[in-house]
Amino acid sequence: MTAFILRRLGGLVFVIFGVSLLTFFLAQLVPADPVAAALGSNARDAQIEAYRLQLGLDQPVAVQYGIYMSRLVRGDLGNSIRTRRAVIDDLRDYLPATIELTMAAMIVTILLGIPLGIIAALNRNTWIDAGARILALIGGAMPIFYVGLVLLGVFYRQLQWLPGPGRLDSTVPPPAHITGLYTVDALLTGNWPVLANASAHLVLPAITLGLFSTAVLLRMTRSSMLEMLGQDYVRTAKAKGLSERLVIGRHVFKNALPPILTIIGILFGSLLSGAVLTETIFNWPGIGRYATTSVTTLDYPAVMGVALVAAVIYPLVNTLVDIGYSVIDPRVRAN
């Protein structure tokens, strides 16, 4: 088990190194001069030259990468040209909003995808199954930015059932900072009005973001359940008189679970991608919107920071899923 975990973590270190190389290379592609952009149009030549020396931009590219890496291992992602703050501080502010949103979307995905998938499998080739499959087809093919705009237009502007963009109403102060996740912080401090407001603000973006992954999880759960329902041990369990509920819950679902878990890990990546669009529509102050604004203003230290953090989170989650998976299913360790 330890060897398995070490092997996975070793792979992760290599990926992070590769990711840093790729983001560094990307920043080299940017046509704009980062120094001129950072100092503004009024900067004198001497100032520009001094700043260039300070950043090590007069050095060969390989040396620059060395400088970048030596800063990186100390947790220094450089300074944002736009916000003029350390990128790591910016990310510390924006990341909790994205984590809260992706977690909420994941809850939507699991609460809808798994039960609908099970129901569809148990009612194979009926109208219920057909309905679930059509839902999965639409969820997988619908542009989520349109879904977000429609939900916002209908439930916020027209019906006024749910609050609009942002994490809280402008009149509601954020809760005391513990994790940065407003719902969690409000819960921990017993701040019920903020908890209610923050939760209400999460509903529409979480549904928007979770739609695609719900569709994928529904399909996966359905097919995994169908595969298990046809197995001999299910027939044996039924033959020895176990109730339908026990057969489905204890035998079929438990065995159908490993591929479902894997897909949940993989879906995390699509949620992080989708967060870029969802955060733009819902004015959600997360790393997706931070990335969009940074790319627009060619603020490449910030872009590199976001890309690096996102590219570390995703394999990290998948490594954790794999480790969890190997705990559930010993055959994985053997492979």
Residues near other proteins, by CB under 8 A: 11, 14-15, 18-19, 21-23, 26-27, 29-31, 137-138, 140-146, 149-150, 152-154, 157-158, 222-223, 226-227, 269-270, 272-277, 280, 288, 291-292, 295-296, 298, 300, 303, 306-307, 310-312, 314-315
Q: How far is the CB of 172 from other proteins (least distance, A)?
A: 25
What are the helix and strand counts (H, E) for the chain?
A: 15, 0
Q: How far is the CB of 239 from other proteins (least distance, A)?
A: 26
Cα within 13 Å of Cα(120), Cβ side: 25
Q: What whole-number distance in Å separates Cα of residue 79 and Cα of residue 77?
A: 7
Cβ nearer to other proteins, comparing 318 with 326: 318
Output the CA angle 191-197-202, nearest 5 degrees.
Answer: 120
Q: How far is the CB of 311 from other proteins (least distance, A)?
A: 4
Cβ nearer to other proteins, comparing 131 with 174: 131
Cβ nearer to other proteins, comparing 39 with 226: 226
Cβ nearer to other proteins, comparing 98 with 197: 98
Does residue 119 sit in helix, strand or coil? helix
Q: How far is the CB of 223 from other proteins (least distance, A)?
A: 4
Cβ nearer to other proteins, comparing 159 with 239: 159
Structure tokens at 57: 């931009």
Q: How far is the CB of 220 from other proteins (least distance, A)?
A: 10
SS (H, E, C) 202-222: HHHHHHHHHHHHHHHHHHHHH
The enclosing H or E element of 23 equals helix 2-29
Nearest to 195 by CA among 209, 179, 165, 174: 174
Sign of the four-CA dihedral 180, 181, 182, 183: negative
Q: What whole-number distance in Å separates Cα of residue 106 and Cα of residue 207?
A: 9
Cβ nearer to other proteins, comparing 152 with 187: 152
Q: How far is the CB of 161 from other proteins (least distance, A)?
A: 14
